[in-house]
Chains A and B, each alone.
Chain A
Amino acid sequence: MLTVWAILIDGLIYASWLFLVAAGLTVIYGVMRILNMAHGSLYALGAYAAASALGWYYNGVGDQLWIALAIITVCAVAIGALAGLIMERGVLRLMYGRDEVLMLIVTFAMLLILEDVMKLIWGTTPYFAYQPYAAMGRFNIGVLTVSGYQLMVVGVSVAVGLALWFWLERTRVGKILRSIIHDREVSEAMGVNVRRMFTITFMIGAALGAIAGGVTAPIISVVPGVGVEVIVVAFAVVVTGGLGSITGAAIGALIVGLARAVSIHTMPELELFIVYAVMATVLIFRPHGLFGQAVARKI
């Protein structure tokens, strides 16, 4: 019974983190049809920015938890949005209308460039900013102990999911974005400034990636390449859920998170295999993912 509870709790916690990582990726693909390989670098940028700022804050400036959490949020959003703006205006804008595969290669190039830029800025030494993680304490559930910070990540993930739903379903900008998703050309013909919407979308998607990194920074050691590791599992989640679907990303994260937890608690040697086994199984029966929709190709 304890193992079942542990699987459910761990699965939920990991799924929340996965959703945070994958949300920005799927938002950008859903609106812009760009499979953004550089999303991992945006995650890493958020992690480095948060870890650096927390290091500065806890090194004699203060030790208030709520200020530390505010620092994480502000730094991640700022660096993610700024990097997104530069990437979209500086590179992607020049490529609109090209084949999706070309866009994939362009974002892969940006990933390589950003990885080296981060090494130039932050070097290769690991950054630790564990203080918020430690400060939020832990809760005992039987012999299982869960950290308060992990529970907060669940809350942040739910909040991000609800905010995205509200933004896309209940705001004017969201309605415009949905019209772009349905038909980019008709939207443009109706007077929608698609390029401006693309800039906004990419900045928000980039900020979401950076927030995921910022929130994760107090849990991990932030090292070069941390974003490259994340992008692989983020792709597995969004492909399982259906590229471009927020609901799909959430369900995909939940399925992958629970499957991984089952594996770790019962057959740890299958931990690596299980994530991709889930993805492959879903794609066999639903080639576009759980919530993905087949789209007729325009010629």
Chain B
Amino acid sequence: MGHITPQAGLRRKLLSTATSIALVSAGAMGISQATHAADTFKVGLVTFLSGGASGPFGVPAAQAAETVIKAINAGELPAPYDSAGVNGLQLESVVIDEAGGPTKQVEEYRNLVQRQNVNAVIGYISSGDCLAVGPVAEEMETFTIAFDCGTPRLFEEVENPTYLFRTGLDAVADNVGAAHYLNDAKADAERLAGIQQNYAWGQDSWLDFTLAMEQLMPDMEIVDNQTPQIFQGNYGTEISALQTSRPDIIHSSMWGGDMEAFVAQASVRGLLDQATAILTTGESGLHRFKDQAPNGTILGGRGPFGGFMPDNDLSAWFSKAYEADHGTPPSYPASKMAQALLGLKYAADNSGAEGIPTSEQLAATLKGASFESVSGTVDMGLAGGHQALQPMLYGEYHYSADTGPELRNVRAYKGECVSPPDGKDAQEWIKAGFPGADCN
């Protein structure tokens, strides 16, 4: 997810003592922290186990890691991943709490590589953490997959990467995809408003979205954008302000509990009857909204993840196994962690190494590769083969007590439609009218 504000930084600082509890939790989840052995491949997993991002993102991701690693080691994954282990080695994990801020995460990363002797690292939900750790991964020459963070600046900060990869999409794709969906599904809408958490994630999302809307729906009038504090929880006044500006569409990049609380409050007060909300991270609430979100609310899942996963053997297996292990269907952060682990397995199995593959062998294998995943075929087609290029999907939320939650009128936009060509500045690309985009 996005950068964390000073307020969130304070919060994480206050909660930093939770790390010890988080490690206990990891143990309770059955994630092995045994000592390194020659017949094991050791991976560091970094995800929020405490703080506001832990419930909606960090813990589901950790749970997905537990499920997928267990299946990898047992050889229970569907083809093409049906061989046990990674390159024949048992996969062993060291789980680290992402809470604490970028400085702490750089220390944790160095600790993982130098003291824990991990062979690879998968992690990072916060864009601030990604931006801090990325250069360190290159410096320490360690194969690293950023599984969730959305900053488009990652491969601007780390130019010509060797060891750093990202197997998910960035936030530009979220917001360009949202603009395309509105252009296709809500062409008669005239008034646009927004509500974003007041930090880099929210501000960048709103900027990318409005730039894209200026290109696709230039007649749309922007009537308001509210910027509440992250983790504020109570949005009564913001909802009033949105009501008085009478929008047809409300765009929000808010995530987790903030997003779900906004939906519940706005729904009760009738705002979501008056206007249609488009929630770029709304999928994480798909199985929790029930009747809190009105039918027709537009949800995104940051790509073909969670409820947007296509039908294939891997997604069917993952949905079933995750629900059996954790009692709920996987949301998009869980799917993205599964995808990163499958990327690691692909790289290890195809590295040609005997024994433990080196970071160089893993990186050379994954660079520019196409591998199968729970989200379909992942094309590492951007940032010189280090960044995934995937479709962006949006759909309407519908719920009834009989059928449960459903996504209807789902539309998919090709990766080449929602992401700028390799090497192009995203905002310049949007302002220029998406040159080179393939939306057919």
Verify A216–B233 contact, CB threshold 8 A.
yes
**What is the CB-to-nearest-CB distance from A225 to chain B, in angstroms, rounded to a whole number?**
5
**What is the CB-to-nearest-CB distance from B132 to chain A, in angstroms, rounded to a whole number?**
21
User: Is B240 in the interface zone, CB < 8 Å from A?
Assistant: yes
Verify B269–A125 contact, CB threshold 8 A.
no
Verify A9–B240 contact, CB threshold 8 A.
yes
Contacts of B58 in A (CB 8 A): 124
Verify B257–A126 contact, CB threshold 8 A.
yes
User: Is A291 in the interface zone, CB < 8 Å from B?
Assistant: no
Write out, one digit per residue, whether chain A residues 145-163 have a CB within 8 A of any chain B CB (1) or not (0).
1110110000000000000
Q: Quick one: which of B225-280 are within 8 Å of A by CB?
A: 225-229, 231-234, 236-238, 240-241, 243-244, 246, 256-258, 260-261, 264-265, 268-271
Give the docked Cα–Cα distance between A269 and B232 (Å): 15
Write out, one digit per residue, whether chain A residues 77-89 have a CB within 8 A of any chain B CB (1) or not (0).
0000000000000
Give the docked Cα–Cα distance between A205 and B178 (Å): 47
Verify A271–B52 contact, CB threshold 8 A.
no
Give the docked Cα–Cα distance between A148 and B207 (Å): 35
**What is the CB-to-nearest-CB distance from B223 to chain A, in angstroms, rounded to a whole number?**
12
Verify A120–B257 contact, CB threshold 8 A.
no
Verify B233–A6 contact, CB threshold 8 A.
no
The segment out of A23-31, A165-173, A234-242, A260-268 that lies at the interface is A260-268
Verify A264–B243 contact, CB threshold 8 A.
no
Known: A126-B256, A150-B236, A226-B231. A268 touches B55 (CB 8 A): no
User: Is B198 in the interface zone, CB < 8 Å from A?
Assistant: yes
Which chain B residue has the least Cβ–Cβ distance from A230? B233
Give the docked Cα–Cα distance between A223 and B52 (Å): 6
User: How many residues on A have C-beta within 8 angstroms of the other chain's C-beta atoms?
Assistant: 51
Secondary structure of the B side of the interface?
helix
Verify B56–A6 contact, CB threshold 8 A.
no
**What is the CB-to-nearest-CB distance from B323 to chain A, in angstroms, rounded to a whole number?**
16
Most buried by B among A9, A111, A143, A264: A264
Known: A150-B236, A221-B260, A271-B198. A130 touches B271 (CB 8 A): no
Contact of A224 among B51, B234, B238, B240 (CB under 8 A): B51
Verify A271–B228 contact, CB threshold 8 A.
yes
Contacts of A272 in B (CB 8 A): 198, 227, 229
Give the docked Cα–Cα distance between A146 and B11 (Å): 31
Contacts of A261 in B (CB 8 A): 237
The segment out of A10-18, A99-107, A190-198, A246-254 that lies at the interface is A10-18
**What is the CB-to-nearest-CB distance from A259 to chain B, in angstroms, rounded to a whole number?**
11
User: Is B7 in the interface zone, CB < 8 Å from A?
Assistant: yes
Verify B241–A146 contact, CB threshold 8 A.
no
Known: A126-B55, A138-B269, A138-B270. A223 touches B257 (CB 8 A): yes
Contact of A268 among B10, B225, B243 (CB under 8 A): B225
**What is the CB-to-nearest-CB distance from A59 to chain B, in angstroms, rounded to a whole number?**
12
Verify A219–B234 contact, CB threshold 8 A.
yes
Q: Quick one: which of A102-148 are within 8 Å of B by CB?
A: 111-112, 115-116, 119-120, 123-126, 128, 130, 133-134, 138, 143-147
**What is the CB-to-nearest-CB distance from B125 to chain A, in angstroms, rounded to a whole number?**
13
Contacts of B265 in A (CB 8 A): 133, 147, 219
Known: A133-B265, A265-B244. A115 touches B15 (CB 8 A): yes
Write out, one digit per residue, whether chain A residues 44-71 have a CB within 8 A of any chain B CB (1) or not (0).
0000000000000000000000000000
Verify A130–B292 contact, CB threshold 8 A.
yes
User: Is A164 in the interface zone, CB < 8 Å from B?
Assistant: no
Contact of A147 among B10, B238, B269, B292 (CB under 8 A): B269
Known: A224-B55, A225-B11. A128 touches B49 (CB 8 A): no
Verify B233–A14 contact, CB threshold 8 A.
no
User: Is B59 in the interface zone, CB < 8 Å from A?
Assistant: yes
Verify B244–A2 contact, CB threshold 8 A.
yes
Q: Quick one: which of A201-245 are within 8 Å of B by CB?
A: 216, 219-226, 228-229, 232
Contact of A143 among B21, B55, B244, B292 (CB under 8 A): B244
Write out, one digit per residue, whether chain B residues 287-315 have a CB within 8 A of any chain A CB (1) or not (0).
01000100000000000000000000000
Verify B231–A225 contact, CB threshold 8 A.
yes
Give the docked Cα–Cα distance between A143 and B11 (Å): 37
Give the docked Cα–Cα distance between A232 and B8 (Å): 12
Give the docked Cα–Cα distance between A190 and B437 (Å): 84
User: Is B18 in the interface zone, CB < 8 Å from A?
Assistant: yes
Verify B52–A224 contact, CB threshold 8 A.
yes
Contacts of A281 in B (CB 8 A): none
Which chain B residue has the least Cβ–Cβ distance from A263? B237
Contact of B240 among A6, A115, A130, A219 (CB under 8 A): A6
User: Is A293 in the interface zone, CB < 8 Å from B?
Assistant: no
Which chain B residue has the least Cβ–Cβ distance from A270? B227
**What is the CB-to-nearest-CB distance from A252 to chain B, in angstroms, rounded to a whole number?**
17
Verify A269–B227 contact, CB threshold 8 A.
yes
User: Is B54 in the interface zone, CB < 8 Å from A?
Assistant: yes
User: Is B214 in the interface zone, CB < 8 Å from A?
Assistant: no
Contacts of A10 in B (CB 8 A): 236-237, 240-241
Which chain A residue has the least Cβ–Cβ distance from B12? A225
Q: Quick one: which of B47-63 are within 8 Å of A by CB?
A: 49-52, 54-56, 58-59
Verify B18–A119 contact, CB threshold 8 A.
yes
Give the docked Cα–Cα distance between A120 and B226 (Å): 35
Give the docked Cα–Cα distance between A219 and B431 (Å): 39
Contacts of A147 in B (CB 8 A): 236, 265, 268-269
Known: A17-B234, A126-B260, A220-B261. A144 touches B240 (CB 8 A): yes
Which chain A residue has the least Cβ–Cβ distance from B230? A229
Which chain A residue has the least Cβ–Cβ distance from B265? A219
Verify B233–A219 contact, CB threshold 8 A.
yes
Binding site for A on B (CB under 8 A): 7, 10-11, 14-15, 17-18, 21, 49-52, 54-56, 58-59, 198, 224-229, 231-234, 236-238, 240-241, 243-244, 246, 256-258, 260-261, 264-265, 268-271, 288, 292
- Please name the 8 residue pairs, one residue from A and one from B, whose CB atoms are nearest each other, closest first: A221-B257, A220-B233, A10-B237, A124-B54, A126-B257, A223-B257, A221-B261, A145-B270
17 A–B contacts, CB within 8 A, in A order? A112-B14, A124-B59, A138-B268, A144-B243, A145-B270, A147-B265, A147-B269, A224-B54, A228-B11, A229-B232, A264-B238, A264-B240, A265-B241, A268-B238, A271-B198, A271-B227, A271-B228
Having A10-B240, A223-B256, A272-B198, one finds 13 other A-B pairs with CB under 8 Å, namely A6-B240, A6-B243, A6-B244, A9-B240, A144-B240, A145-B269, A147-B268, A150-B236, A216-B234, A220-B261, A224-B54, A225-B51, A229-B231
